[in-house]
Amino acid sequence: MLSLKDLIHGPYIKCPKCGKNSFSVAIISDNHYFRRCTECYYPDFSKGEKSVKYMLPQLNKKVIYIDQFAISNTMKFLNPATKSHKKVKDDIFWGKLFEQLHTLCKLQLIICPDSAMHETESLLAPNYEPLKRIYELFSHNISFQSHETIKLFQIIGQFNIWSGDTKRYDLNVQDIVNKEINVWQDRFNISISRDNPQSLIEEIRTNRDKVEDYVKDIFVKWQKEKNKDFDYWYKAEKRSIAETLIKLYQKNLEKILKMSYGLIPFGIDAFLPGFASKVFYAIKKRLKRKGISEEKEINKKLCEFLYSEIFENAPYITIASMLYAAMARRANKGKKESPGRGFLNDVEVISTLLPYCDAMFIDNECRSLLLEKPLCDDINYSTKVFSLSNKEEFLEYLDQIKHSASEEHMKAVEEVYGPNWAKPYWGIFKQEP
């Protein structure tokens, strides 16, 4: 059972009340921390003694996305219990990557938020808990909102432009995560384990197989369309987003209607609207606020927005459409093998998260697509993109972050966490005797 002494720790300084070298760090919170004595328990709030507060420098952490394949290889490098440990252990890059990422996280210089994609892909792997330990070690329980939520935020932002409420709407990274990023973190990282029903895992696996078939079919279609260029596929992809949303919304309404008349079994779907329904409800609500009350006029305005250039300029639509068009161009030019189901997941991650990250470490193929024209010119965010093809550059980038830290910042880290705090947790998977 935890006691007060378990929650307070060094480095210790002289207590202003009892004079012993036992004045420890008690609570780290935002941009300050508190001390309390482990001997006399000064300050004693029951005696009216005020808390002893110390201010810390403001933070400006770099936000870095680490793709699932890197999480997986890092886990295998560190975990002797995995089958691939010996093979991955021979590649010292994964050790260097873990060392730099975890050190920078502990130095309060970077954060690597986890995403729903980490969770989903880890659930399908044989080492769910070890994978979860790695991505939560880097994220410190800071998570990106779901990809659908980020898309919805972007669409609402574009609607505000379309309706004249604003000329420019910019989400920032703090808008799309669950916790404050630029705060000094506690030493403890609390993780909650849960039982994931086998039915959920099987459902995810079934959907993954369907995606695999879909990717193969669409790739064959791209290969056959020899008379189409990048611009054609780019415009077609952007246009298809609105069409897909409308079809999904209509399909959902039809399903709910059939349930209400008893034509099909009642399901939880009636209470859990899909993404398309959430988009339509959000836009309709805003149109009603503008005084448009008739359903016919609301639907007309909604369609005008969905088929507008402003809607199509939502960041995730632009980025995803360009990535698909670039892959279609490769298929046209003789690429033989389908990119596989992972490509759709990669596009989902990149299109929703790239605008908000300082850097991303992704797979080679997607990085190479982003380097092609016109993608490298038109996806003009300041995000640095790395993969195994330039992995040494990524390590250099991380090294530069460390060396850019001010002397004041490094002294504050030592003051709060101690001189040996920055050492990475090499024993994370150490077997208990």
pLDDT in tens, 194-210: 666 666 667 666 676 67
Same domain for 46 and 66, yes or no, is no
pLDDT band at 432 (very low <50, low <70, confident <90, very high): very low
- Inter-residue long-range contacts of 252-260, CB under 8 Å, 24+ positions, other chains counted: 252/276, 252/277
- Residue 41 falls inside a structural domain: yes
Same domain? For 216 and 85 the reply is: yes
pLDDT at 169: 79
20 and 139 together in one domain: no
What number is the average pLDDT over the span 57-71? 98
If you search the block for the tokens 């808990």, which residue do you land on? 129
One domain for residues 67 and 112: yes
Residues 158 and 13 in one domain: no
Question: 157 CB contacts (<8 Å, ≥6 apart)?
Answer: 169, 170, 171, 314
- State the Cα torsion 344-348-349-355 to the nearest 10°: 140
Q: Is residue 230 part of a domain?
A: no
Based on the domain organization, do 211 and 338 belong to the same domain? yes
Q: Assess contact for 204 and 120: CB atoms under 8 A.
A: yes
CA distance 413 to 410: 5
Closest C-alpha among 246, 301, 235 to residue 275: 246
* Cα separation, 17 vs 366, whole angstroms: 60
Predicted TM-score (pTM) of the model is: 0.92
Three-class DSSP labels, 370-404:
HCCCCHHHHCCCCCEEECHHHHHHHHHHHHHHHHH
The total number of structural domains in the chain stands at: 2
DSSP code for 145 = P
Q: Is residue 284 part of a domain?
A: no
Residue 154 within a domain: yes
- Residues 44, 167, single domain; the answer is no
67 close to 101: Cβ distance less than 8 angstroms: no
Give all strands (DSSP E) within 86-234, no chain letters.
110-111
- What's the rounded mean pLDDT across residues 92-110? 98
Confidence of residue 255 (pLDDT cuts 50, 70, 90): confident
Compute the distance between CA of residue 181 and CA of residue 62 in angstroms, rounded to an integer. Answer: 9
- Name the strand (E) or helix (H) holding 92: helix 92-106
User: What are the Cα distances from residue 47, in Å, to 7, 43, 44, 51?
Assistant: 21, 8, 6, 11
Asked if 172 and 319 sit in the same domain, the reply is yes
Question: pLDDT (tens digit, 9 = 90+) per residue, 88-100?
Answer: 999 999 999 999 9
Same domain, 24 and 147: no
Residue 282: Cβ-neighbour burial (10 angstroms; 0-12, 13-18, 19+): middle
Say whether pLDDT at 267 is over 70: no
Task: Give the C-alpha distances (Å, rounded to integers) separating 113 from 62, 73, 138, 403, 429.
Answer: 11, 18, 7, 22, 21
Containing structural domain, residue 135: 62-224+314-433
Residues 36 and 156 in one domain: no
Q: What is the mean pLDDT of residues 115-130?
A: 92
Q: Report the candidate in 46, 48, 51, 20 with the shortest Cα–Cα distance to residue 35.
A: 51
Residues 35 and 128 in one domain: no
Lowest pLDDT segment from 135-139, 167-171, 232-236: 167-171
31 plus 113 within the same structural domain: no
d(CA 169, CA 156): 9
In a domain, 303, yes or no: no
pLDDT at residue number 165 = 87
